[in-house]
Amino acid sequence: MIGLYTKNVGAVWFGAACNHKEVFATSFALSQEKVLWSLLGNIPYNIPFQQFKEPSVFAERALCILKNIYNGEGSKENLPLNTEHLSEYARKVIDVVSMVPLGYVTSYGSVARVAGGSSRAVGRVMAFNPFPLIVPCHRVVCWDFTLGGYGGGSDVKLAILSREKRGYSVEAEVSVCGGKLRLFPVEFVLSKLAKIRAESKY
């Protein structure tokens, strides 16, 4: 049985679809209805589900982590994700993107060089990411540090990244799936967008 859980924090609703030990999907939106529709669209079709008013201990933990990531605080805790219903390639992309730490971004191309496929293929997986915030697809941007797509909208993506800046100034890399994933400070993206906006005024 998969439980659907939602929680309102300020103006934002957070949602998690999980059993007592694994997360099947997460979501966030400005309305509870949108969160529930997103969760329903991402859980396996062959497993029974039920909406619960009160979160379980595990669900409460997941909802708290979602809120912290959304607020730019990040999380040191890794939740077990159920990805059995996803393709092998989607699972690999998710594994790679999950390694992008707070304060950094990577590019679609950098993910593709580790996971395989093309930048566009990575973008397609991220467009249907069933674990937003937990799998930080908001930290994947274009090669030129423009935002690229985001299911919640580019303004939401920018707002989350703005809260995640940590004052880093140099590139880094992380070992994942037998390759090296390039990382760039969030500040690179924010500087790029500030430059674009300044130039658009003229």
Answer whether 94's CB lies under 8 Å from 129's CB: yes
Annotated catalytic residue 177: no
Helix (H, G, I), strand (E, B) or coil at 10: coil
Collapse the DSSP code of 71 into the 3-class scheme (helix H, G, I; strand E, B; otherwise coil) and give the result: coil
The alpha carbon dihedral of 131, 72, 158, 170 has a sign of negative
d(CA 95, CA 76): 16
Torsion over CA of 149, 151, 154 and 155, rounded to 10 degrees?
Answer: -170
Q: In DSSP terms, which residues pair with 128 in a beta bridge?
A: none
For helices 88-97 and 108-115, the axis angle rounded to 10 degrees is: 120
Catalytic residue among 64, 137, 142, 177: 137
Tell me how far the alpha carbon of residue 105 is from its chain's centroid: 11
- Give residue 187's identity as a one-letter amino acid code: E
**148 closest CA partner among 112, 201, 198:** 112
Catalytic residue positions, numbered: 137
